[in-house]
C-alpha cells in the first residue's frame, strides 16, 4: 500500500469515487481508502439513481415542517421522527434552519450546483464513464391531492406509463435521467485508477493525524499514511474522523428504504409519488422503489411493515405492473447535516482537511459538482472550498481537541 501521496480520499462512495477521479485526472497522486469490502456498501448503492436537478434543495423547508403533522396519518408516513434525547439538539437546529429567507438562499445555491452537476453527469456518459446513464424524463403523480397548475392530460400520462392507475393529476419532468449508482461508482473508481489513483477497499481509517495545526495524513492499521490533504467523504463516519482534527460536523442518519422488485410491465421511466415522497425507477433487471425519511432510527432493524406499505403504494398506483417477487430490501442512513445543507469545504481548524459529506438524498446528483469543487479548490486554488453556506467551519470546533 502507498505510504505517501498528495491527497487521501477517505470513502469510496459516489462522492469519494468521483472526487478521486477529478483529482487524479488533474495529476494529483491519490489514494482512496474505504472500510467496505467492495463497491456499494451503503447509500451509494441503495438510492433511486435518478438525476433530478430541479428537485435538489435544503432538507428543512417551511413546507416540510408544516407537512410533518399531516404525515402522521399516512401509511407509510413519508417523514417520521423517533424521539430520543440525542436527536433533540440536531432536530432543533434543523427546524430553525427552515426560515424562509435562509431556505430561499440555500435553494438557489443548491439548484445552481445541481444543474451544473447534472450537466457533468451527461459529460461523463458522453465520455464513456457512466454506461448505465439514460436521459428518460420522469412522471410526477398526485394520487389523492390536486397538484399545482400545469398537469398533463390523463391520456398523455398513460401513454408515458401504461401501467398507471387513476390519479388526481400528473406532470411531465423532461430534464431527468437515470443511472445505476453501483456501476457509476465502479466506473469512477476504474477511471481514477487509470489516471493513477490507488483504490483500497477493506481498509478502515482509524483517525486523521494532525500535527502542529496541520494534517499529516491518516492512521491505517497503526501506521501513518502521509498526505498534504485528506478529503473526508465518509458519510456518517465523518463526524468521528473530523473530530480528531478538531472539527465538529453534526450529521445524523435520515433512514431511507429501498425495495428492488422483479416486475413485469414496469415503467421505463421514473415515477414520483409526490404525496408519499417515494419514487420508482427502472434499473437493469429490476424495478427499484425508494423513499421515506426517518430520523432517530440509526442501527435499528429494518421495519418490514414500512417496506410492505411502500410496495402496496406501488401496487395501488401502478395496477398494470405485475410484481413477481422482492429481490432485495434495504434500509440505511442518508447522512444529513443539522442545518439540512451539504458540508463541502476546507477546515480552518486543521488546514489540509476537506469535508465532502452530508448530502442526504442528493449524493448521486451532486457528486460531480462536489468533486469539481474539491479538485479545483485543492489543486488550482479556486475559492470553491470556502462557500459560507457549505463550509464545515459553520458548526464550530471540538472542545478539548488535542492534536496528535
From 337, 364, 387, give the residue that closes a domain. Answer: 337
Q: Supply 158's cell numbers.
A: 398513460
Separation in Å, CA 110 to CA 66, 191, 274, 346, 381: 22, 27, 20, 18, 22
Assess whether 259 and 315 both reside in one domain: yes
**Residue 161 region, left (φ>0) first, then alpha (ψ -120 to 50), else beta?**
beta
Q: Which of 337, 360, 387 is the last residue of a domain?
A: 337
Residues 47 and 113 in one domain: yes
Number of domains making up the chain: 2
> Which CA distances in Å does 263 have to 84, 259, 276?
38, 12, 21
Domain final position from 287, 308, 337: 337
- Does residue 150 share a domain with residue 169? yes
- What confidence score (pLDDT) does residue 184 get? 96
| Three cell numbers, residue 319 | 395496477
pLDDT at 71: 53
Indicate if 373 and 404 belong to the same structural domain.
yes
- Can you name the residues that pair with 272 across neighbouring β-strands? 140, 279
Beta bridge pairs of residue 357: 343
Residue segments in the chain with a per-residue pLDDT below the cut of 70: 1, 41-42, 63-75, 399-404
Unique residue bearing C-alpha cell 424521539: 83
Question: What is the model's pLDDT at position 402?
Answer: 40
**Residue 266 and residue 145 in one domain:** yes
Instruction: Determine the straight-line distance between the first and last CA of the chain, rounded to whole angstroms.
Output: 23
Report the 10 Å Cβ neighbour count for 37: 8
- The domain of 69 spans 61-96+138-173+251-337
Whether residue 156 sits in one domain with residue 11: no
Q: What is the CATH number of the domain that holds 217?
A: 3.50.50.60
Backbone angles phi, psi at 272, to 5 degrees: -105, 125
pLDDT number for residue 276: 86
pTM, full prediction: 0.94
Maximum pairwise Cα distance, the chain: 67
Amino acid at each position: 500500500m502507498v505510504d505517501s501521496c498528495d491527497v487521501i480520499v477517505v470513502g469510496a462512495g459516489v462522492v469519494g469515487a468521483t472526487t478521486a477521479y477529478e483529482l487524479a485526472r488533474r495529476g494529483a497522486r491519490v489514494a482512496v481508502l474505504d472500510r467496505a469490502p467492495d463497491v456499494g456498501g451503503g447509500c451509494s448503492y441503495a438510492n433511486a439513481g435518478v438525476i433530478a436537478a430541479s428537485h435538489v434543495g435544503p432538507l428543512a423547508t417551511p413546507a416540510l415542517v408544516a407537512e410533518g403533522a399531516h404525515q402522521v396519518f399516512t401509511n407509510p408516513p413519508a417523514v417520521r421522527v423517533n424521539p430520543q434525547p440525542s436527536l433533540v439538539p440536531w432536530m432543533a437546529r434543523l427546524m430553525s434552519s427552515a426560515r424562509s429567507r435562509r431556505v430561499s438562499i440555500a435553494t438557489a445555491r443548491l439548484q445552481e450546483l445541481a444543474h451544473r452537476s447534472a450537466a457533468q453527469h451527461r459529460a461523463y456518459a458522453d465520455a464513456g464513464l457512466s454506461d448505465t446513464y439514460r436521459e428518460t424524463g420522469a412522471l410526477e403523480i398526485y394520487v389523492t391531492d390536486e397538484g399545482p397548475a400545469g398537469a398533463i392530460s390523463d391520456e398523455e400520462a398513460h401513454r408515458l406509463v401504461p401501467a398507471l392507475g387513476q390519479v388526481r393529476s400528473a406532470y411531465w419532468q423532461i430534464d431527468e435521467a437515470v443511472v445505476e449508482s453501483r456501476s457509476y461508482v465502479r466506473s469512477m473508481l476504474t477511471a481514477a485508477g487509470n489516471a493513477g489513483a490507488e483504490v483500497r477497499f477493506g481498509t478502515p481509517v482509524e483517525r486523521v493525524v494532525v500535527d502542529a495545526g496541520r494534517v499529516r495524513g491518516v492512521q491505517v492499521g497503526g501506521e501513518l499514511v502521509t498526505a498534504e490533504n485528506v478529503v473526508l467523504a465518509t458519510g456518517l463516519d465523518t463526524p468521528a474522523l473530523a473530530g480528531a482534527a478538531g472539527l465538529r460536523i453534526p450529521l445524523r442518519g435520515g433512514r431511507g428504504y429501498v425495495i428492488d422488485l422483479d416486475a413485469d410491465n414496469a415503467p421505463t421511466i421514473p415515477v414520483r409519488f409526490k404525496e408519499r415522497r417515494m419514487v420508482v425507477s427502472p434499473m437493469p433487471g429490476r424495478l427499484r422503489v425508494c423513499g421515506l425519511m426517518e430520523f432517530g432510527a440509526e442501527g435499528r432493524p429494518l421495519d418490514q411493515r414500512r417496506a410492505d406499505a411502500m410496495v402496496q403504494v406501488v401496487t395501488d398506483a401502478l395496477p398494470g405492473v405485475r410484481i413477481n417477487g422482492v429481490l432485495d430490501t434495504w434500509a440505511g442512513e442518508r447522512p444529513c447535516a443539522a442545518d439540512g445543507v451539504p458540508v463541502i469545504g476546507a477546515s480552518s481548524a486543521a488546514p489540509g482537511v476537506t469535508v465532502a459529506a452530508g448530502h442526504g438524498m442528493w449524493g448521486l446528483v451532486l457528486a460531480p459538482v462536489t468533486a469539481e469543487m474539491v479538485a479545483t479548490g485543492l489543486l488550482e486554488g479556486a475559492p470553491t472550498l470556502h462557500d459560507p453556506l457549505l463550509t464545515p467551519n459553520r458548526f464550530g470546533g471540538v472542545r478539548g481537541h488535542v492534536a496528535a
